[in-house]
């Protein structure tokens, strides 16, 4: 048998077997400690390096400070507005499922009973009530507890619950709802309720910073920032009357009904919808201008419903082709396609083929904007129209009627 260091192999092996074995755990712990120690000392060295030489030039530092100021503005707006933003949970009873027993063709019912026995009877729903749950956002607009949100969030609900940032929970009353504008007003009874300040959406400018606050996917008190991407978006196909503010602030399911806020801390819009291929944010969100919402809010609180102005005409946008057809100079204006008999427009002398170029001195160049102007006018109020007819301008006064429901 071979030897090692003058000792037989088996004797050498026995000696080795009697030596204590160091556990891997201790080796791992020591190794970890060494690694951490090395990192800590390296960190001290790095911190020393940071303090010894400036990272930014003077010009860069000014730019960084400007960004920090913007971030501080975001934080200030969030602190002041978020307490008045609420989570809205709406519950609605759906029509009962119909019992399908006795409605199956042939002997299929007997066949199912043969395989499943009495379980077939037990598992068959019969007039079973169903309830659907929806969640969105809203915001308190007055100290007495009025809340603005979207119609699609809570307008058709049987029961609505509202939760504040401070975790207070309230049963909310639906004061009124307007599907055509997708707005709804709720009311809660509470003390020391926070509320937002409403701004002027007409003063919003494309490119300015805005914050979207709400509860996307049930994540309460979420704040995202972006800019106003566009104003006056219509023909989007979301509501009957559209004048949306477009923003790239991240808006997701659950943000509906929450406020769009400027850096003055004033609400300028109500987040309503997104364009998305995935169901999530893709940088194209739409908010109802707060000025439109103010008018709807006042009517819902006062009357519980909304009255809209009505002329009784069919209209379409002027185009270069239509301008050539009617020998009209320019592409602005709204072409009157037809006039309903005995309508306010007919009584004022408006005719098919007329081109409306002004409304109360304001230039008319967009069909969506014109419709929004008309429906916002109080019924019985008079407006002045400037119309082009066969090469001549005419001035008509129309007593606006009430739009049929």
Question: Which of the following is catalytic: 78, 87, 151, 152?
Answer: 152
Q: Are strands 266-274 and 197-198 parallel, antiparallel or unpaired?
A: parallel
Is 152 an annotated catalytic residue? yes
Which DSSP state fits 305? S
The token duo for 352 is 């098919």
Q: Which residues pair with 230 in a beta bridge?
A: 246
Phi, psi (degrees; rounded to nearest 5) at 195: -150, 160
For 333, phi and psi rounded to 5 degrees? 105, 170
Tell me which long-range contacts 167-170 makes (C-beta under 8 A, separation of at least 24). Answer: 170/145
Among candidate residues 182, 243, 248, 354, the one labeled active-site is: 182
**Alpha-carbon torsion, ordered 254, 260, 265, 266, to 10 deg:** -120
Q: Residues 229, 256, 266, 354: which is the catalytic one? A: 256
Q: Are 249 and 226 in contact (CB under 8 A)?
A: yes
Q: In terms of Cα–Cα distance, which of 218, 138, 221 is closest to 175?
A: 138
- Known catalytic membership, residue 256: yes
Burial 53-84 (b: 16+ CB within 10 A, else e): eeeeeeeeeeeeeeeeeeeebbeebbeebbbb
Beta-carbon contacts of residue 25 (< 8 Å; ≥ 6 apart): none
- For tokens 């043969």, the residue is 114
User: What residues act catalytically?
Assistant: 152, 182, 256
């Amino acid at each position: 048998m071979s030897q090692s260091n003058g000792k037989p192999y088996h004797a050498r092996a026995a000696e080795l077997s009697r030596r204590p074995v160091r556990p891997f755990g201790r080796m791992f712990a020591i190794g970890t400690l060494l690694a951490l120690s090395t990192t800590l000392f390296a960190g001290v060295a790095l911190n020393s390096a940071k303090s010894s030489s400036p990272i930014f030039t003077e010009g860069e530092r000014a730019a960084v400070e400007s960004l920090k100021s913007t971030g501080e503005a975001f934080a200030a707006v969030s602190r002041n507005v978020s307490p008045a933003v609420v989570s809205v949970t709406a519950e609605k009873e759906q029509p009962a499922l119909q019992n399908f027993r006795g409605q199956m063709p042939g002997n299929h019912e007997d066949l199912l009973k043969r395989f499943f026995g009495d379980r077939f009877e037990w598992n068959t729903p019969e007039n079973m009530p169903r309830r659907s749950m929806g969640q969105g956002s809203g915001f308190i607009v007055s100290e007495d507890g009025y809340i603005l949100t979207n119609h699609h969030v809570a307008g058709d609900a049987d029961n609505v619950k509202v939760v504040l940032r401070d975790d207070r929970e309230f049963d909310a009353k639906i004061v009124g709802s307007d599907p055509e504008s997708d707005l709804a007003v709720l009311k809660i009874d509470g003390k020391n309720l926070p509320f937002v300040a409403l701004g002027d959406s007409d003063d919003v400018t494309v490119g300015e910073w805005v914050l979207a606050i709400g509860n996307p996917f049930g994540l309460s008190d979420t704040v995202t920032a972006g800019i106003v991407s566009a104003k006056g978006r219509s023909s989007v196909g979301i509501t009957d009357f559209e004048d949306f503010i477009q923003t790239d602030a991240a808006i997701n399911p659950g943000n509906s009904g929450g406020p769009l806020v400027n850096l003055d801390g004033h609400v300028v819009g109500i987040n309503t919808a997104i364009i998305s291929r995935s169901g999530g944010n893709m940088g194209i969100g739409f908010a109802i201008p707060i000025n439109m919402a103010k008018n709807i809010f006042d009517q819902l609180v006062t009357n519980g419903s909304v009255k809209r102005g009505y002329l009784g005409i069919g209209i379409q946008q002027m185009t270069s082709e239509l301008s050539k057809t009617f020998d009209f100079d320019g592409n602005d204006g709204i072409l009157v396609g037809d006039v309903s008999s005995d309508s306010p427009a007919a009584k004022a002398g408006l005719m098919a083929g007329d081109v409306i170029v002004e409304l109360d001195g304001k230039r008319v160049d967009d069909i969506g904007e014109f419709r929004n102007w008309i429906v916002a006018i109080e019924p019985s109020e008079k407006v002045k129209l400037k119309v082009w007819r066969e090469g001549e301008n005419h001035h008509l006064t129309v007593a606006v009627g009430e739009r049929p429901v």
